[in-house]
Amino acid sequence: MQILNIDNATVYRGPTKVFSDLNLAIDFGENTAIVGPNGAGKTTLLKLLAREIYPSTGNVQIFGKDRWNVWELRKRLGLVSPDLQQNYAMSAKGASVVLSGFHSSVDIYGHQTFTAEQLKVAESVLNDLKIDHLCNTPFSSMSTGEQRRHLLGRALVNDPEALVLDEPTNGLDLPSIFQYLETVRRLMQSGKTVILVTHHIHEIPPEITQVVLMKHGKIISHGSKEKNLNNESLSELFDCQIKVANFNGYYQVVPA
């Protein structure tokens, strides 16, 4: 099954045409990193996948379907993005942030009800992500990494088939990055498909086997890490001389 199938899509953000005739298919189980310079269209691609924006022409199928009830889709496709973090309700307490995933809402409200089972799931997610001590802390009083972990928890309560992560480790300290990566690796090992946008090549875990290179709204290449994470492809992608090293399944880049 395909998670995503974009067929000849033209996409605008405001007056800017970001994609013309874009084509991309990602199969279920193909853990994929999307890499490219600022403004390449990576976040726009994820927004297309999360149905936050729609193509003006062409077709975007998610899990094989053209039409979606977005609330249903959000349960199957967990999203963590800087936009969500920025727009999240600042007064929401830690436990509410995680619980809000069940209703795909921002914070929780009096009329929303939760079953005993849902409360149990939220509690175990809070424990797994080691954020249970923040269950009464407002979102505004959490560090960047703590907020990010809560948004991951919010996505995970629904046990989604796929996780879509837009620069998830930005602003995190090293132990938080390692912990976040461990969590994401565990999720991939348990069968979830991850689509990760990152500028940090060294944070692409071994479980991610596919790479999409994007530049100026175009997909330059889509294939294995070996094919795309090498001196030639990355130097051309970023228009600067890059040297790539491979270490224990992780890649590292330095100026050539």
For residue 229 the two structure tokens come to 């994470």
Residue 150 contacts which entry, Mg ion, ligand ATP, none (Cβ below 5-8 A, type-dependent): none
Residue 187 contacts which entry, ligand ATP, Mg ion, none (Cβ below 5-8 A, type-dependent): none
**What are 250's strand-pairing partners?**
247
| Least Cβ distance, residue 9 to ligand ATP (angstroms) | 13
Which of the stretches 11-19, 110-118, 141-149, 157-165 binds ligand ATP when contact is defined by CB under 6 A? 11-19
**What CA–CA distance (Å, rounded) separates 26 from 29?**
9
**What CA–CA distance (Å, rounded) separates 17 from 206?**
34
| Least Cβ distance, residue 40 to ligand ATP (angstroms) | 4
**Nearest residue (CB) to ligand ATP, 29 versus 171:** 171
**Nearest residue (CB) to ligand ATP, 18 versus 77:** 18
236 and 243 in contact (C-beta within 8 Å)? no
Considering only 32, 43, 147, 228, the residue that binds Mg ion (CB under 5 A) is 43
Measured from each CB, the residue nearest to Mg ion is 43
**Nearest residue (CB) to ligand ATP, 13 versus 120:** 13
Q: Residue 189: in which H helix or E strand, if any?
A: helix 174-189
Residue 169 contacts which entry, Mg ion, ligand ATP, none (Cβ below 5-8 A, type-dependent): none
| CB-count burial class (<10 Å; 0-12, 13-18, 19+) for 35 | buried
The DSSP annotation for 9-43 comes to: EEEEETTEEEEEEEEEEEETT--EEEE--TTSSHH
Considering only 6, 22, 41, 155, the residue that binds ligand ATP (CB under 6 A) is 41
The three-state secondary structure class of 8 is strand
| Least Cβ distance, residue 164 to ligand ATP (angstroms) | 13
Which of the stretches 20-28, 32-40, 105-113, 129-137 binds ligand ATP when contact is defined by CB under 6 A? 32-40
Alpha helices in the chain (DSSP H): 42-49, 70-76, 82-87, 94-99, 116-128, 144-156, 174-189, 225-228, 231-238
45 and 32 in contact (C-beta within 8 Å)? no
For residue 52 the two structure tokens come to 């936050």
Determine, following the binding rule CB under 6 A, whether residue 40 of this chain makes contact with ligand ATP: yes
In the complex, the residues that contact ligand ATP under the rule CB under 6 A are 13-14, 16, 18, 36, 38-44
In the complex, the residues that contact Mg ion under the rule CB under 5 A are 42-43
